[in-house]
Amino acid sequence: MPEMSFFQEVLANLDEANKHLNLLPAVYERLRNPRRALIVSLPVKMDDGRVEFFKGYRVQYDFARGPGKGGVRYHPKVSLDEVTALAALMNWKCAVVDIPFGGAKGGVECDPTRMSKSELERLTRRYTYEIGLLIGPESDIPAPDVYTDEQTMAWMMDTYSMMKGYAVPGVVTGKPVSIGGSLGRNKATSAGLVTVVVEALKHLDMGLDDLRVTVLGFGKVGYHAARILHEMGAKVIGVADSKGAIYNPRGLDIDAVHRHKTETGALKGFKPAEDMTVDDLLGIESDVLVPAALEGQIHRANVERIRTRVIAEGANNPITNEADRVLMDKNVFILPGVLANAGGVVVSYFEWVQDLQRFFWNEAEINQRLTAIIKKAFGEVLNISLEKKMDMRTAATVLGVQRVAEAIMIRGLYP
């Protein structure tokens, strides 16, 4: 039987949560369908003078709890199904950590690794203009995601501001600090993930000293998570990127690995470490595995290789539903992405609030507030998991969906 599409898997998790919630049929159907989806055609003049057309998307899943919130990714495999699934996950994620946002997501089907900076700027500005009728600080606030960054958000903010005729820093988050970005935002997802891991280790009566960690994906989330865990005393024994993996049972110097990747463009060849495939790294015994790249990293073909105690999802849905069941049978403690990688959207919320107030906090305040919110969310999800005897993914989905459903019911159906 073929594996389900990404959005079908998200809906399957929603179905599982609803077995415990028994939502009214109208509310349940509302949650199974995005509020709106926009598909745009993006003509972009390339550096060689030709015009190339790209397809872009922005999906707004639900606004019951507040304006839409969600990143924008540039990737060759971006599709409406993927963006819709990610928007739904953002909806639950914002509710799990109890911040006043709904779910949204955007993306452009392109290969940014083959595009120049000027081409990416023209693509970004065209995309922003085309979705400009949907986004805004009170309606839908984009942020960085896969292959987008602070510079991308600066171009988006500037384009939207030109459309309005005045500076609108609150239209996006994840911007450079110099134009209204927040301190601590660049590593917020990783900091939140580490907080969740530490809380899980306490629950499982495990410690950080000599904890063996492997990380799949060495971008913004994977690198900072590995670095923070390394600094806290854990032993990061393996990391992987899209081109391969490296392994050292004695532990890796994460900053040295990062320098090597920056200089060479890949992890392979780093010494002292052994080069191997990503699937081979999955077969290495560890205490914590952090999948931090794209969805579906762990699937039916490689899940049997995994030997770990805890999985903390730095990416959104990196484990297929089929693989999820296998891991639960192995008694792997899974920290779902709607909880484990929610630190980014929490600090995005802080950035948005600071932009609206034109009053900014120091990094210590941001980190303190972030830690408090993530710890509270972890405790709430864990309590549901223990009380209802369900896995953490279902517990987190139950919590998020319940909060969104409550907002929908209180607001009522219009007209």
Which residues are the active-site residues? Answer: 105
Are the C-beta atoms of 407 and 98 separated by less than 8 Å? no
As a whole number of Å, the end-to-end CA separation of the chain is: 42
In angstroms, the CA 399 to CA 31 distance is 14
Provide the 10 A C-beta neighbour count for residue 13.
Answer: 24
- Residue 337: how many other CB atoms lie within 10 Å: 26
Q: Give dist(CA 335, CA 200) in Å, integer.
A: 8
Collect all residues with Cβ–Cβ distance below 8 Å to 365 and sequence separation of at least 6.
none
Count CA within 13 A, CB hemisphere, residue 276.
16
**Could you tell me the CA-to-CA distances from 28 to 31, 180, 398 in Å, in that order?**
5, 38, 12
Residue 343's contacts (CB-CB under 8 Å, 6 or more residues apart) are 188, 189, 190, 191, 192, 193, 195, 370, 374
Report the SS3 class of residue 370. helix
